[in-house]
Copies of this chain bind each other. A is one copy, B any other.
Amino acid sequence: MNDKITRLNTTQGDFDSALAKLLAWDDSVDHQVNESVRHILRDVKTRGDAAVLEFTEKFDRLKVGSMAELEMGQERLQEALERIPQDQRVALEKAAERVRGYHERQNQKSWQYQDEDGTILGQKVTPLDRAGLYVPGGKAAYPSSVLMNAIPAKVAGVAEVIMVVPTPDGVVNDMVLAAAAIAGVDRVFTIGGAQAVAALAYGTETVPSVDKIVGPGNIFVATAKREVFGVVGIDMIAGPSEILVICDGKTDPDWIAMDLFSQAEHDEQAQSILVSSDADFLDAVEASINKLLPTMEREDIIRTSMLGRGALIKVADLKEAAEVSNRIAPEHLELSVEDPQAMLDDIRHAGAIFMGRYTAEALGDYCAGPNHVLPTSGTARFSSPLGVYDFQKRSSLIGFTPEGADRMGRVASVLARGEGLTAHARSAEYRIKD
């Protein structure tokens, strides 16, 4: 491991390749994990509840008589909501309210219009019938993640949100259950791993099959989601979390150091990068990093992440900073500058953009309103934050009058015959007037 944070400068001759090396992340598939996951999927698909019970006993060391014992009723969620400290409950409710308010603006409406022939064209928007939400158990159990995944589904109009959360050795996280209560989760099963993904995808005697599975998970969960894609929809497979901070050198360096830490503390593979045109400021932030690091609860994780994958990048100006950012297409982008709106036009790819010195990325993780499930590893080039649109789908609407069918039938006939598809042509021609 490096003993200092990587420094790059866009003027260095090998900047492009050095940046590429910094960003490189190995997401190659582990074939042993693959085999194991496929076995679990097949087994649950074939044997249903019995297989889920066996895997839960094996992996979570939970022995129960029937799947019914692995379902938690609404009264258990309410119990958790009443048991957690009052300030946590208030914070969860406030966060939920803001997340709901933002996501309501994403709601899509069906539309129809008529063209000059009276032809009806349109798009009908329908929520998914049922969504599955995977929530990791144990130490990485994040109640905020329950809100961020379940609320968009409910805002979209999904009738039934089914949550699965493993409780290894029976350990339950009350804050997670409280968040489920607040978010309006409909059913909760305390199962996890590939067996939970399989149960949601194929359905069992007890667990209903869903139309889409969302939510974070370990390598077994991610692999299982990838495998069942097609049978059900899935959200993106997430890579390690990243933040890119662009700073004009006028924000308190301690603030910036802590913002970088807030990604780095997620895990050793997380990536925190600072870009500035002010070389002295980069030095000041490095000094802050060295000063603050020993005071951090998750010091070891942060150090490994900062030294292994972090970087301080010197650029010529904010314009060039935006170019570097577009190259990276970061999950989180902080514009810690005087006039962030002025930079927006230059920013083409980012999961979420945090504008101005007061907008700590951590606020977005919890309670700003927008979703914290964001595209990682450069996939912001082509994908979006989790949203209401992920829980709705569209159907095209087409309705021809006899006149429209006559006019358009002639066009379709020519093209269909040009493609050698004569049943298409004749089907259209039946509707042409003599």
Q: Could you list which residues of chain A lie within 8 angstroms of chain B, going by C-beta atoms?
A: 27, 87-88, 90-92, 94-95, 98, 101-102, 105-106, 111, 113, 115, 119-121, 123-124, 126, 128-129, 139, 142-144, 175, 211-212, 230, 232-233, 237, 252, 254-255, 258-259, 261-262, 264-266, 296-298, 302, 340-341, 344, 347-356, 358-371, 374-375, 377, 379-385, 387, 389, 393-402, 404-405, 408-409, 411-412, 414-416, 418-428, 430-431
Contact = CB atoms under 8 A, between A and B. Distances in A.
Given A353-B395, A359-B400, 10 more contacts: A91-B415, A143-B419, A175-B419, A232-B382, A233-B383, A254-B430, A358-B404, A363-B400, A368-B400, A369-B398
A255 B427 contact: yes
A381 B129 CA distance: 8
A411 B367 contact: yes
9 contacts: A120-B355, A211-B381, A254-B430, A296-B423, A298-B421, A298-B422, A355-B399, A358-B400, A366-B424
Given A348-B126, A398-B369, A405-B360, A422 B383 contact: no
Most buried by B among A377, A402, A424: A424
Given A95-B415, A398-B359, A423-B302, A381 B144 contact: no
Contacts of A266: 421
Contacts of A350: 395
- Sort A-B residue pairs by CB-CB distance and give the 10 closest, nearest first: A355-B399, A370-B396, A233-B382, A358-B405, A261-B423, A352-B396, A91-B414, A362-B424, A384-B394, A258-B427
Nearest to A428: B362
A412 to B, nearest CB: 4
